[in-house]
Structure 1
């Protein structure tokens, strides 16, 4: 549910806002940490589809290590 909400937010606003809200959600509910990597990677992949790889990379934040960047560089399947 959080993933879907953040993907919509990314499209309506930008990936930076979604990543900030992901970090806030993990800070508020530490039990979400185990899902952080997969959510950040999904946001990265979606950002590439919406913004292209160069623009998507400009939104990278240190959320869940480098998972967002990993999603940008991993080919979409």
Structure 2
């Protein structure tokens, strides 16, 4: 049973932290959306405080805050 326990522990450990791989000092507050094109840019990927332009149509994107506490602005 040692192999099964090890595999079970490995899968449990891989799902423990929803923010793994991200900078723990910065937490996402939402994302910028272009509703016409359906493009999304996470707020952590934007430099400065101004809303970015959509890379497809050039319109200013809209900021929407994350409702959940999962760290995702989905």
- Normalising by the residue count of structure 1, what TM-score does the alignment of the two structures yield? 0.23
Structure whose CA Rg is larger: 2
Answer 1 or 2: which has greater helix percent. 1
